[in-house]
Every structure is written in structure tokens, then in C-alpha cells.
Amino acid sequence: MTGSTVATPVLELADLHASLSDPLLDTMNFLNEIANRFPDAISFAPGRPYDQPFDAAVVAGYLQRYERHLEQDRGLSHQQAGSLLFQYGRTKGQIHDLVATTIGNDDGIEASPEAVLVTVGAQEGMLLVLRALIRDQRDVLLVGSPCYLGITGAARLLDAPVEVVPEGDAGLDPEAVRERVHRLRAAGRRPRLLYLIPDFANPSGIRMPLVTRERLLRMAAEEELLLLEDNPYGFFARDDTDLPVLKRLDRDRRVIYLGTFAKTCFPGARVGYVVADQLVRAASGPDRLLADELAKLKSMTTVNTSPLSQAAIGGMLLAHRCRLRESNQDRIAAYRDRLERLVAALERHFPAGTRDRSGVGWRVPDGGFFLVMQVPFDADEAALARSAREHRVLWTPMSYFYPTGGGRRQLRLSASYLPVDQIDEGVRRLAGLVRALAPG
Amino acid sequence: MTGSTVATPVLELADLHASLSDPLLDTMNFLNEIANRFPDAISFAPGRPYDQPFDAAVVAGYLQRYERHLEQDRGLSHQQAGSLLFQYGRTKGQIHDLVATTIGNDDGIEASPEAVLVTVGAQEGMLLVLRALIRDQRDVLLVGSPCYLGITGAARLLDAPVEVVPEGDAGLDPEAVRERVHRLRAAGRRPRLLYLIPDFANPSGIRMPLVTRERLLRMAAEEELLLLEDNPYGFFARDDTDLPVLKRLDRDRRVIYLGTFAKTCFPGARVGYVVADQLVRAASGPDRLLADELAKLKSMTTVNTSPLSQAAIGGMLLAHRCRLRESNQDRIAAYRDRLERLVAALERHFPAGTRDRSGVGWRVPDGGFFLVMQVPFDADEAALARSAREHRVLWTPMSYFYPTGGGRRQLRLSASYLPVDQIDEGVRRLAGLVRALAPG
């Protein structure tokens, strides 16, 4: 190589995949960048679990618990157990049986371990399900609006067509979905699945009422639509009423269920799972489970979910006798407390009498990590930058979550990650921002 | 849900993504299934590392080593260090600096840590690089033939066009690639990158000579082609001559480099990486690194590589002072020994005088995990089934690795995973199969 005749190449962004030109991906960068630039800002932006006491010794304990299980309950030699940590693993996962037991105990989901695919977080599950079901540009993924970015992002990556059903104050309306399905079919399209978070949606915080769940399942059966249920926040109701997940109510395998241990165990393992008990029929041969088809795709994305990470989660599940709802009582209380404090702070700093006329409002969510707030200004990146710089408080523009536009004067607040003693001060700063930006 | 009026749905395979109808994905299932059905067979099929002494305590040691690094070298509190294991992590990875140091020490690759993206194995790296560079159906991925299945599989998943350049006995010929590039451009296509394993390719075992590496880089520069270098086996030369990796010879950022710790540390962590120091230019704003664009895509595939897995690998890197080539001396010797034994067993059971007339032959590889053998029968699934049933020996049909056909009378052997005392017996069984299936 002389290097003298040939210039160092530069790739044009416009020549790369279109998802990379999507402003959305840059806005996420913007959020991260602004958080780094103002480290003393109080941030209501990230929807992460709060930090919990954790270190290498804690992980080691879980790994040893899983190792003991392999040796004592499954009769493996110490060497065989070690090999299960060391080697490549089964594509569908190694703790699928423990996962199946746990979701049976916690949510009454009756899943055969063979219908469980362990994934690198729920995100990989989304990617695999979309890839399996979106064959070509006629196929359509339906989402509510506003919508979680992970699913629309995965669709962008795969060039998968997305159609949006606007949500009302009560969340998604099954009849609105049905109407959209009819319209799409009339146009020659194939609506394949509807993605939703029935319990404390990200970003809206809305929980779907039981009667709506039943109507949704009936509609899905009648319209031959699959439902992709994502349930990261299901444990974290604000009261003690837990509604059955769609997958539990599902009588005819309409629901593909996405789970994650990020919020109920720890995010650093990056372990999630898909329950896909749907039957797939080829021209010849026996029917197979959709989980097995997803595993074939997984062998082309990540090969298998880190056996080490699975062992850590497996050890946690065993330590808690496969009952995470019980072991999460402290967290459930902690997230409830954070949400109560957030609501109380809003009540305090935006007193009832002043709200309507000032264009400020919010819907108290039934649980989960998120609260949507109306504000009397455009909650855009300029406002966020000013919020960070002048008021030292961060939030997420709701417009990010509307695939086809919307949410201009809304922001998303999460207190899940905040130290509790910062919540009130954060909302006080937010009130300062609102005063500064409110018109006249 | 009454369940009486609506039948349980069955998904038609033909309605799912076309990659799922690819017979290749089923053949991999076939391989796994046959290995499970004949557990007493000696298997030359898997290209995995041999089992090494390993258990939870070993992992715990590495995690603690990494934790100590965070506290002592990076000045984090114990709680902050624990949080780095517990939480979601940086999308580009947490051990990027250690990775950059290690590949500098081991392979003389000068990479800025910011050009390193930590991935869930090299497989995720392939997926991300392909996704970034294949914008639409005009864009083409070039591969040699035979070719590793992971890259063609990832291309199938993304509907990415693949064109094949046949390899000769000396491996890939840069002029053959150039010719294909010209033909594709004349047809209005955009050849974007060439995937290759220069060191002990899977499946061919071929090492690209130094002069060919230099010619390839020159051709890539002249033709404005990117090279995607995959290097899982680079340490495992049969002799003591290590050739420089393409990325080390790369003067003008033509090479995107894929690495993995699966063979040099342990597969169960599922940690790999991409070095992508190419510049990407948008219509406005400063140039960015391709690694940052890949990270944007990664946020839609796996969000981040398990911080726990990264900590385990980080601890190993630190324990070995970021010099894996040194710490791998035992493994290098072990794989060399396995390959020598395999070759010796072939010499023994297929004596020189009998080979040519019987249609048996092989090329002694320069290193790595794989050896390709010619046989006097169709090495198809029927032959493999018979081999398993009647001769208790397994191998991989080479035809799997030819995207457009080929390798009919070839099989791939790997002794990497076998206990050394089984190698000779395995080849003895293989000789029995050859005698049984040889014509006349």
C-alpha cells in the first residue's frame, strides 16, 4: 500500500441503510449527550431500574446457586455443569424450564418450556418476531400511538411496514384496531400482528382494562391477527390489583409474549424471553412451534444468549423458588413510592387551581415507570436543551414516541431511576421551566 | 373467549420470512438432531473450543478482577462499580478500551477505543455491518465460496443480496473479486463489501498468503470496496509463523474487523467486537465513526452487550495483562496437537498408495479448526445419517458451505472439540464409512 494515490474513503450516510438517517436514532443520542453534558441535572428521562446493592460477589452467589442446581437437581458432574457455563449453548436457551415455571407461578401463563425462547433482552425478541412474521412489504405491523421506540426501531432495521392506531385516554381501542385491519386488507395489505404493552405502557403509563383485554382477544381471533404482548412493568401496579396478562387469557394461541428480567432481576444480564407457542405448518413434515422458527433466526443474530448471563438469572430464579413477584415486593414498594412522590410533587408544584389555565396537566398512571405530562410549550429539543442548561432538569419529549407525529406539548417523566430525595426538587425545577416557557 | 367458534390458528411457513424456508437452516437442525440421536458417535462436526476447566468460581474470580480494576484503576466507588455490572450499559460497550489495548498487543491493530463496538459475539457484528452497508437491493455483499454460514445467514435475515466468488486451492483471488466487482457495476449494482476469514478459514482451513493480503488491500482501495475481516482462529497457526491481519496492513480504513473472545477466552460469555474506524459523512454536522452508526443499529438489536459478560471477559483480559496470545499458549499447543493427530490419523487410515485411486484426499490446513476432505461418494445427509448409524462418526457436509452449489464430494472435519484420544478412532470409523460407500 503506497497510500499516496488512494484517499481514505468516507462513507456517505445517504448510502447507508435508511434507518441510520432516521432522526429518531439521533434524538436518542441527543438525550444521552445532554445527560452527559449536564451531570448535575435531575433526570426524569431514563426508564431504568434504580441502582440496587450489587457486586461481583452477589453475581457469584447466583452463579453458584445455578451450578448447584445443575449438579444436584439435574445430576450433572461438576465438569459438565462448568461446561454449560463455558461453552456455546442451546440456541433456544438453557434456563427455558426455569422461565416457564416462573411465569406460570407469577402470571399464570401455562407455557411449555419448548415454547420459550431465551433472548438477549426483550429487544432481540422483538426483532426475531418481526423478522419471522413480516415476509414482505405487504405485511404490516400495527402499533398504538404513542408507542415504545424499541418496536418501531426494530421495524426500521428490517424495513418492516408499520401502521399506527392512535390511542385515546383509555389506551388502545380494539374496534379502532379492527377498523384499521379492514382498511389495510381492503388495500391489499396483510396486517400480521399488533404490538402492545397492556400493563403500564411505555410511554403512556396506561393499563388496559380487563374488559378491553377480552375484547381485544376476541377481535384478534375474529380478525386472525396476532398480538405481541410486551410486559416489562407488569409487577409494578400502584395498587394491589393485578390484571391477568393477555397471554393468560389467550385460549387459542393468539398472543406472542415478550418478557424480560431487566426490571425484576437486573438489566446487566440482558436476558429476556419470548413465549411463542403458535404452530407453524410447512408443506411437508410435522407442525413446529413458532419458538423453533424464531430460534433458527436467532442463530443468525446472536447464536445464543450468553450462558453466563443465563446462569446468573437462573440462579436468581432458583434462589427465589421461581417466584419473582414475591421476591420483588421491595421493588414493587419502591416503584410505587417513587410514583406517589412524583404525583405528590406535581400536585405540590402545580397547584390544582393553576393547572388548567396554565395548560399543565397529567394522567396519574396505574403503575409502571412513566407519567405523561401536558405542558404549555413545545416540548422539543430546544426546550429540553434550555431545561438542562437553565433549570437542570431532564425529561423525554413525547413527540419521540409518535411514529406519525403528535405529542408536541407533552413530556414523559420517569422517577424509576431517581434517588427518592431528588424527585420533589426535580419537579420544582420543572415548574421553573414551565413558568419560564409558558406563553405570556 | 368461547373458543368454540374460532379455531386455533396455524401459521403457514410459506407466509413467514423466506429465510425460514431456506433448507440451510434446517440442515443445521439436522446436524444437531443427529448428534443428539447418536450420542456415542465421535463427532468431527462442531467447530467449538474443547472443554476447559471452568466453573462459577473461575468466573467469580474474573468478575472480581474487573471490579478491582474499576475501583483501583478507574477510581470508581464499590457502589459505582457494582452499578456497572447491574445496569444497562453503554451501547458501544464497557470494555472497549481493554479490547483496543488487547488487539494492539496481540495483532498490532491500532484502534482507537471509540472505533470499537462490543457485540454479542461476532455474529451480531456481522448483522450490524451488513445492515449498515446494505441499503437496498442494488447493494451487494461479496463472499468467497465455500463460505462461513454465519455471514450468508445474516444476509438472508436482512434480504441482503449476496454474490459469490469461487475460491481456488489457494483461497480467494483478488483479481477474481475485481472482475466480479466490475461485472456487478456494469449491471448497475453496488458491490459494498467482501467478507472473508484470511486466517484458517471456516470451512476451508486456508490461510491467505501475505502477498495476497497486500494485493487484496490494493484491489479494495482501487475498487473502493470495503473488506470485512473475520478473525476467530488467528492465534491457531500450525507453525510459528503468524501473518499480519488485514486490519494491521490497512492504511486507509478499508477493513472492518470482526473479533471474538469465544475461542481465546470462552464462548459462554458471547462477547465479540467490531473495529469500524471508517468515517461517515452526513449532509450536515461533523463526520462520525462507522462504529457509532453501528451502535445506533445495535440499540435496535440487543440494546447492549451483557455488562456481566463483558465484566467476565474484561477480568480475563486484565488477568492476562491484555495479552491473549501469551495466555493462549496452552490452547495454541492443544489445537496444534489436535490438528496434527487428525492429519496423522488420516495418513494412517488412508495410506498414501490407496488415496488417489480411491478418490480420497485432503489439504493439510495451515492452522485453525478445520480440514476439508475429498471422498468418493456424495457427502449428503443420507450419507451422514448412515455414517452416524452404522459407523458412529459425524462430520459436516461441505455442500452446506457453498451458497450456489458445490462441495458435493467433500466433508469438513474438526477435531477442535474432540478429546484427543478419540481422534484416531474417529478417523478409523471414517475409513470404514469410505470403504462402505466407495463405488465398486
3-state secondary structure of B98: helix
Contact residues on chain B for A250, CB-CB shorter than 8 A: 1
Question: Would an 8 Å CB–CB cutoff place A187 in contact with chain B?
Answer: no
Task: Point out the least confidently predicted range of B3-7, B48-52, B146-150.
Answer: B3-7
- On whether the CB atoms of residues A242 and A84 are closer than 8 A, the answer is no
CB distance from B182 to chain A under 8 Å? no
- Interchain contact, B85 vs A56, CB within 8 Å: yes
Mean pLDDT of B392-401: 96
Average pLDDT over residues A240-267: 96
Question: Which residue, chain included where needed, has cell 406517589?
Answer: A340
Instruction: Give the pLDDT of residue A7.
Output: 62
**Which of A131, A157, A290 lies nearest to residue B11, judging by beta carbons?**
A290
Q: How far apart are CA A236 and CA A374, in angstroms?
A: 23
Cell of B420: 484427543
What CATH class does B23-47+329-437 carry? alpha beta
Work out the mean pLDDT of chain A and round it to a whole number. 94
pLDDT at A17 exceeding the cut of 90 = yes
Predicted confidence (pLDDT) at residue B1 exceeds the cutoff of 60? no
With a cut of 60, say whether residue B25 has pLDDT above it: yes
pLDDT band at B24 (very low <50, low <70, confident <90, very high): confident
Q: How many CB atoms lie within 10 A of CB A348?
A: 12
What is the rounded distance in angstroms from the CA atom of residue A386 to the CA atom of residue A422?
20
The top-level CATH class assigned to A60-327 is alpha beta
* Chain B contact set for A216 (CB, 8 A): none
CA distance B214 to B199: 14
Residue of chain A nearest B293, judged by CA positions: A20
What does chain A come to in residues? 440
Enter the C-alpha cell of residue B35.
448428534
Percent of chain A exceeding pLDDT 90 equals: 89
Contacting residues for A364 by C-beta, under 8 A, at least 6 apart: A343, A371
CATH topology of domain A18-47+329-437: Aspartate Aminotransferase, domain 1 (3.90.1150)
- Residue B155 carries which side chain, given as an amino acid letter? A
Q: What pLDDT does A440 receive?
A: 67
Residue range B275-303, pLDDT digits in tens = 999 999 999 889 999 999 999 999 999 99
- CA-wise closest residue to B128 among A302, A121, A159: A302
Mean pLDDT along residues B140-148? 97
Q: Which residue of B has its CA nearest to A119?
A: B302
Cβ atoms of A392 and A42 within 8 Å: the answer is yes
Per-residue pLDDT reduced to its tens digit, A384-414:
999 999 999 999 999 999 999 999 999 999 9
Q: How far apart are CA A203 and CA A400, in angstroms?
A: 10
Q: CA triplet A46, B120, B309: central angle to 5 degrees?
A: 75
Distance (Å) from the C-alpha of residue B364 to the closest C-alpha of chain A?
Answer: 27
For the residues A289-307, what does the mean pLDDT come to?
Answer: 96
Q: Does B184 touch chain A (CB under 8 A)?
A: no
Query: Stretch A265-294: mean pLDDT, rounded?
Result: 96
Instruction: Convert the pLDDT of each residue in B304-352 to its tens digit.
Output: 999 999 999 999 999 999 999 999 999 999 999 999 999 999 999 999 8
- Give a three-class secondary structure readout of chain A: CCCCCCCCCEEEHHHCCHHHHCHHHHHHHHHHHHHHHCCCCEECCCCCCCCCCCCHHHHHHHHHHHHHHHHHHCCCCHHHHHHHHHCCCCCCCCCHHHHHHHHHHHHCCCCCHHHEEEECHHHHHHHHHHHHHCCCCCEEEEEEECCCHHHHHHHHHCCCCEEEEECECCECCHHHHHHHHHHHHHCCCEEEEEEECCCCCCCCCCCCCHHHHHHHHHHHHHHCCEEEEECCCCCCECCCCCCCCHHHHCCCCCEEEEEECCCCCCHHHCCEEEECCCEEECCCCCCEEHHHHHHHHHCCCCCCCCHHHHHHHHHHHHHCCCCHHHHCHHHHHHHHHHHHHHHHHHHHHCCHHHHHHHCCEECCCCECCEEEEECCCCCCHHHHHHHHHHHCEECEEHHHHCCCCCCCCEEEEECCCCCHHHHHHHHHHHHHHHHHHCCC
Cβ of B89 and A268 within 8 Å?
yes
Does the CB of A211 have a partner CB in chain B at under 8 Å?
no
Whether the CB of B216 is below 8 Å from some CB of chain A: the reply is no
Q: Where are the domains of chain B?
A: 23-47+329-437, 60-327
Q: How confident is the model over A86-99, as pLDDT tens digits? A: 999 999 999 999 99
Contact B212, B256 (CB under 8 A): no
> What is the CA angle B223-B229-B234, rounded to 5?
140
Q: Are A8 and B253 in contact (CB under 8 A)?
A: yes
Q: What is the pTM of this model?
A: 0.97
Q: Is A308 on the interface with B (CB under 8 A)?
A: yes
Closest to B168 in 3D by CA, of B209, B126, B131, B135: B209
- pLDDT for residue B3 is more than 60: no
Report the 10 Å Cβ neighbour count for B421.
Answer: 8
For residue B344, the model assigns a pLDDT of: 97
CA-to-CA distance for B68 and B62, rounded, in angstroms?
10
A15: nearest Cα among B180, B255, B281:
B281
Look-up of cell digits 397492556: A198
pLDDT interval class at B241 (50, 70, 90): confident
What is the CA A133 to chain-centroid distance, rounded?
19
Mutate to test the interface with B, among A306, A310, A331, A369 (most CBs of B within 10 A): A306
Which of A1, A9, A87 faces B51 most closely, judged by CB atoms?
A: A87
Tens of pLDDT, residue by residue over B108-130, are 999 999 999 999 999 999 999 99
- Contact partners, residue B248, CB within 8 Å, separation at least 6: B107, B108, B109
Helix (H) or strand (E) holding B385: helix B381-386
Q: Strands A272-275, A116-119: parallel, antiparallel or unpaired by DSSP?
A: antiparallel
Residues of B in contact with A154 (CB under 8 A): 300-301
CB contact under 8 A, A17 and B297: yes
Q: What is the 3-state secondary structure (H, E, C) of B17-29?
A: CHHHHCHHHHHHH
For chain B, say whether A319 makes contact (Cβ under 8 Å): no
Q: Is B156 on the interface with A (CB under 8 A)?
A: yes
Interface predicted TM-score of the whole assembly (ipTM), two decimals: 0.96
Whether A440 and chain B come into contact, CB under 8 Å, resolves to no
Grid cell 438517517 in the structure block, residue: A21
| A379 CB-contact burial (10 Å; exposed 0-12 / middle 13-18 / buried 19+) | buried
Mutate to test the interface with B, among A217, A303, A418 (most CBs of B within 10 A): A303
Instruction: Write the pLDDT tens digit of every residue in B164-199.
Output: 999 998 899 999 999 999 999 999 999 999 999 999
Return d(Cα A407, Cα A146) in angstroms, integer: 8
Q: Using an 8 Å Cβ cutoff, are B26 and A297 in contact?
A: no
Between residues A30 and A128, the one the model is more confident about = A128
Are B262 and A88 inside 8 Å of each other by CB?
yes
- Determine the residue of chain B that is closest to A20 in CA distance: B293
Give the pLDDT band of residue A4 (cuts 50, 70, 90).
very low
Chain B partners within 8 Å of A214 (Cβ): 1
Which letter, b or e, does each residue of A68-103 get, where b requires 16 or more Cβ atoms within 10 Å of its Cβ? ebbeeeeebeeeebbbbbbbbbbbbbbbbbbbbbbb
Instruction: For residue range A114-163, list pLDDT tens digits in order.
Output: 999 999 999 999 999 999 999 999 999 999 999 999 999 999 999 999 99
Q: Which residue has the cell 398472543?
A: A255
The answer to whether A141 and A130 have CB atoms below 8 angstroms apart is: yes
Q: Identify whether the C-beta of residue B99 lies closer than 8 Å to the C-beta of residue B317.
A: yes
